């Protein structure tokens, strides 16, 4: 112990190495704690909003009906819940909800209450008829700026029966929350690996010099236990200091993270605080892993001190680990597509981590191949020196590239998934005109809507035209007057006289609408006029009601064309007259889709930035450490007349050449894994296309650039080497 502490007090290079170990562990611990806190943030939101996940109970236990719809006002989304009591009795409510609102009573979130007070009543306030009995507390909201309303009614036509507004089953039941649940764990796995690489790079600083010193002590009579204790003390000093600093840094980091927008707003500061048990476990495990890695590297020193300076060989079997890891990953994909529950993604994430580690294991093999290639075919001094280093000690040479390779793997995977995920978010499907608002699931009587607004009302009946077989859905059609439907439907061009507007191949004549309990059937006349209509979105044909006289007067959809001046007023009239009816509004759908797309892009940018920074820091630390380890060699080369400029070029090539070779394989693995994850995500939220863009190969260029910049870190260390170092040793 006295020898180890004396080395730390008097050896400047050991002091630098200890400081870098502390820095690496600090960064790794703070990032790991942040990554482990991200699922906690999602779970905290899920627990606050669990009351919105309506579990239907069509039995004697159901006491209320709830209709959940999404609304908007001037570019801001509003979550609306129309409720009605089905039978007397106590209605359980979640924290943050003062009590269940009876008919004529309303609860608003604070942000929505402020907006209602500031906006004209005909544009917003009239959407929530009744007395505001209370404001929703923070315990029932995603974030402070969320707009939420609970409106009480005598009856809600489209409501679902349930027991109350206090669902305690707080899990990721929504499709996009389930997707987010998967993506956060993917990010946790792929970012933890570069953290481990950074810690390993820091722990291996001055490893060669330490091995020579410990080998000499072993030959002088030191026992294996004494050698292990000296190494543990040297490494533990920096690791423990770094772990403590990392825990202290995680707290302000979590408050900074809470300001990142998600789902339209920021987080509460307490959302990103990990459990005390997790903090303790990470703080203890980080130094243990660092010390363990340092001790594991002493096997040759302990067993064969005379062979301490021999270079480690790498076996080509490491390349096969990539195939095995990808096999485990796709086995996990197949399992996750069939399984449900908390362990659904366990095998997928295990396979993902295995692929990342396999790339790290394979890297030294490729590095050795690259070194042999340049030694055999290149004669420039700097490249020849770099090739000799790569071929002679590929494990140490690749160490600086490992973090960059994982960053490239992560980038290619993210850029493979992102375009496909963006196509799954809700967007305008082109069915209705941009200025139209359409209410679905409405009843026969639209008189309240006619009384509420002076805008033209377009009543329609949605159904299908097929061959008469119940299993044959045929074409999705609307029954309504063409001149009226054209006001709200895209690309409909009307002519005089009743007709069927649809594709030429429409040859069916059996019309069916409604549910099985309230089914409407009719048959088109044998002779009718068919006019071209390209079909837009969900509507493939339009039928004038004169051709189906038996269904005239039946209504399931109501549309209204709007202008910029009356849009909010018409929207308010719709909601006031038809509470609980789902509204199809291009603005609402676009806002929700834009929010999800921005969240996905933001998450990708943050994740890739962290991976790139970690990879760059790891490469810089390893490059500087390689100069420190080979100070004697560089001093001898300089003493023999080798220009420092040539050595600097050689060092840069040592970092860049393995990166250039291995990142191509990492890019390919990232594309394969990204396609697998995209297939799994598409199964959760829908979609079929798997688009690829040329940007998936961009991380290769970025990785090489980052490695080159990181390699410049060895410049100041190299300039500190002089022939006197060789003479002194």
Residue 684 has pLDDT above 80, yes or no: no
Q: What is the pLDDT of residue 209?
A: 66
Mean pLDDT comparison of 155-164, 239-248, 387-396, 423-432, highest-scoring range? 239-248
Residue 175 has pLDDT above 50, yes or no: no
Residue 400 and residue 205 in contact, taking contact as beta carbons nearer than 8 Å = no
Of residues 280 and 661, which shows the higher confidence score?
280
Q: What is the pLDDT of residue 703?
A: 82
Residue 26 and residue 246 in contact, taking contact as beta carbons nearer than 8 Å = yes
Q: What is the pLDDT of residue 690?
A: 59
Q: What is the pLDDT of residue 165?
A: 87
Q: What is the pLDDT of residue 401?
A: 79
Residue 520 has pLDDT above 90, yes or no: no
Mean pLDDT calculated for residue range 108-135: 91
Residue 177 has pLDDT above 60, yes or no: no
d(CA 654, CA 371): 9
Mean pLDDT calculated for residue range 541-547: 92
Residue 21 has pLDDT above 70, yes or no: yes
Relative orientation angle of helices 224-257 and 276-296, to the nearest 10 degrees:
140
Q: What is the pLDDT of residue 91?
A: 87
Mean pLDDT comparison of 35-44, 168-177, 498-507, highest-scoring range? 498-507
Q: Chain-wide mean pLDDT for the chain? A: 81
Report the chain's C-alpha Rg in angstroms: 33
Q: What is the pLDDT of residue 152?
A: 92
Q: How many CB atoms lie within 10 A of CB 581?
A: 23
Task: Identify the H or E element spanning 368.
Answer: helix 346-377
Q: What is the pLDDT of residue 615?
A: 80
Q: What is the pLDDT of residue 132?
A: 92
Residue 728 has pLDDT above 70, yes or no: no
d(CA 435, CA 658): 57
**Least confident span in 45-54, 244-253, 621-630:** 621-630
- Listed residue (42, 182, 38) closest to 684, CA to CA: 182
Going by pLDDT thresholds of 50, 70 and 90, the confidence category of residue 174 is very low
Our CA angle for 428, 433, 435, nearest 5°, is 100
**Least confident span in 40-44, 337-341, 416-420, 491-495:** 337-341
User: H helices within 586-643, ranges in order?
Assistant: 586-629, 631-639
Going by pLDDT thresholds of 50, 70 and 90, the confidence category of residue 521 is confident
Relative orientation angle of helices 586-629 and 175-203, to the nearest 10 degrees:
10
Q: What is the pLDDT of residue 111?
A: 94
Q: How many CB atoms lie within 10 A of CB 561?
A: 20
d(CA 642, CA 637): 5
d(CA 645, CA 656): 17
Going by pLDDT thresholds of 50, 70 and 90, the confidence category of residue 107 is very high
Residue 278 has pLDDT above 50, yes or no: yes
Residue 489 has pLDDT above 50, yes or no: yes
Q: What is the pLDDT of residue 18?
A: 79
Going by pLDDT thresholds of 50, 70 and 90, the confidence category of residue 722 is low
Which residue ranges make up each domain of the chain?
1-52+198-310, 54-162, 363-427+588-729, 436-587
d(CA 498, CA 523): 15
Task: Identify the H or E element spanning 702.
Answer: helix 698-711
Q: What is the pLDDT of residue 443?
A: 64
Mean pLDDT calculated for residue range 179-204: 73
Residue 387 has pLDDT above 80, yes or no: yes
- Listed residue (629, 609, 589) closest to 699, CA to CA: 609
Of residues 6 and 412, which shows the higher confidence score?
412
- Listed residue (460, 6, 341, 406) closest to 200, CA to CA: 406
d(CA 230, CA 3): 7
Tens-digit pLDDT profile for residues 451-483:
777 788 888 998 999 887 777 778 899 999 999
Mean pLDDT calculated for residue range 381-404: 83
The total number of residues shown for the chain amounts to 729
Residue 180 has pLDDT above 80, yes or no: no
Residue 31 has pLDDT above 90, yes or no: no
Can you say whether the dihedral through the CA atoms of 135, 136, 139, 145 is positive or negative? negative
Residue 95 and residue 139 in contact, taking contact as beta carbons nearer than 8 Å = yes
Tens-digit pLDDT profile for residues 355-385:
988 988 898 898 888 888 888 877 788 888 8
Q: What is the pLDDT of residue 694?
A: 77
pTM of the model: 0.74
Going by pLDDT thresholds of 50, 70 and 90, the confidence category of residue 485 is very high
Q: What is the pLDDT of residue 116?
A: 93
Q: What is the pLDDT of residue 150?
A: 94
Supply φ then ψ for residue 516, to 5 degrees. Answer: -65, -30
Residue 211 and residue 309 in contact, taking contact as beta carbons nearer than 8 Å = yes
């Amino acid at each position: 112990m006295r020898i180890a502490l004396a080395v730390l007090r008097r050896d400047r290079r050991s002091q630098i190495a200890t400081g870098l170990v502390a820095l690496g562990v600090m960064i790794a611990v703070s990032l790991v704690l942040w990554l482990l806190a991200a699922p906690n943030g999602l779970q905290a939101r899920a627990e606050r909003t669990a009351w919105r996940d309506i579990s239907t109970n069509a039995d004697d236990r159901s006491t209320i009906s709830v209709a959940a719809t999404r609304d908007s006002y001037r570019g801001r989304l509003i979550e609306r819940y129309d409720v009605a009591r089905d039978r007397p009795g106590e209605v359980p409510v979640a924290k943050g909800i003062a009590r269940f609102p009876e008919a004529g009573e309303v609860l608003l979130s604070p942000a929505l209450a402020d907006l209602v007070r500031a906006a004209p009543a005909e544009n917003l306030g009239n959407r929530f008829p009744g007395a505001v009995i209370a404001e929703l507390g923070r315990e029932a909201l995603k974030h402070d700026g969320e707009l939420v309303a609970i409106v009480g009614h005598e009856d809600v036509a489209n409501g679902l029966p349930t027991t109350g507004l206090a669902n305690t089953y707080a899990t990721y039941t929504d499709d996009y929350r389930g997707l987010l649940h998967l993506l956060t764990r993917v990010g946790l796995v792929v970012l933890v690996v570069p953290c481990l690489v950074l810690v390993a790079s820091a722990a291996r600083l001055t490893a060669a010099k330490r091995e020579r010193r410990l080998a000499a002590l072993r030959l002088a009579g030191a026992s294996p236990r004494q050698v292990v204790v000296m190494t543990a003390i040297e490494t533990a000093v920096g690791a423990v200091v770094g772990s403590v600093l990392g825990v202290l840094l995680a707290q302000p980091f979590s408050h900074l993270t809470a300001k990142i927008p998600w789902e339209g707003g920021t987080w509460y500061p307490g959302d990103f605080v990990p459990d005390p048990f997790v903090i303790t476990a990470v703080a203890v495990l980080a130094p243990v892993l660092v010390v363990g890695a340092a001790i594991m590297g002493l096997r040759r020193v302990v067993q064969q001190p005379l062979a301490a300076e021999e270079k480690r060989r790498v076996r080509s079997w490491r390349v096969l680990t990539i195939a095995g890891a990808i096999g485990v990953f796709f086995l996990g994909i197949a399992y996750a597509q069939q399984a449900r529950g908390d362990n659904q993604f366990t095998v997928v994430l295990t396979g993902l981590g295995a692929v990342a580690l396999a790339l790290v294991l394979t890297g030294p093999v490729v590095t050795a191949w690259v070194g042999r290639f340049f030694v055999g075919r290149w004669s420039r001094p700097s490249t020849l020196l770099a090739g000799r280093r790569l071929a002679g000690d590929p494990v140490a040479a690749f160490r600086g590239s490992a973090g960059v390779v994982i960053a490239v793997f992560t980038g290619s995977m993210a850029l493979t998934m992102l375009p496909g995920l963006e196509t799954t978010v809700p967007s305008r499907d082109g069915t209705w005109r941009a200025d139209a608002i359409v209410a679905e699931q409405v009843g026969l009587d639209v008189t309240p809507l006619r009384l509420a607004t002076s805008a033209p009302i377009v009543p329609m009946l949605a159904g299908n035209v097929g061959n008469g077989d119940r299993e044959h859905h045929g074409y999705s059609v609307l029954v309504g007057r063409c001149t009226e439907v054209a006001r709200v439907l895209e690309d409909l061009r009307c002519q005089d006289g009743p007709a069927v507007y649809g594709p030429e191949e429409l040859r069916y004549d059996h019309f069916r609408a409604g549910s099985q309990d309230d089914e409407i059937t009719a048959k088109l006349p044998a002779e009718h006029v068919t006019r071209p209509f390209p079909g837009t979105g969900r509507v493939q044909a339009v039928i004038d009601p004169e051709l189906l006289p038996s269904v005239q007067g039946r209504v399931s959809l109501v549309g209204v064309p709007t202008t910029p001046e009356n849009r909010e007023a018409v929207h308010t009239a719709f909601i006031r007259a038809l509470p609980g009816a789902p509204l199809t509004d291009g603005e609402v759908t676009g806002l929700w889709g834009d929010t999800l797309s921005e969240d996905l892009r933001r998450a990708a940018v943050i994740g890739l930035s962290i991976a790139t920074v970690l990879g760059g820091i790891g490469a810089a630390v390893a490059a500087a450490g390689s100069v420190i380890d080979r100070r004697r060699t560089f001093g001898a080369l300089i003493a023999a007349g080798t220009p420092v400029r040539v050595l600097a070029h050689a060092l840069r090539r040592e970092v860049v050449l393995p990166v250039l070779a291995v990142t191509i394989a990492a890019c390919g693995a990232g594309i394969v894994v990204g396609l697998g994850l995209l297939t799994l995500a598409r199964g959760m939220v829908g979609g079929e296309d798997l688009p690829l863009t040329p940007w998936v190969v961009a991380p290769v260029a970025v990785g090489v650039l980052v490695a080159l910049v990181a390699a410049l870190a060895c410049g100041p260390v190299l300039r500190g080497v002089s022939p006197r170092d060789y003479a002194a040793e």
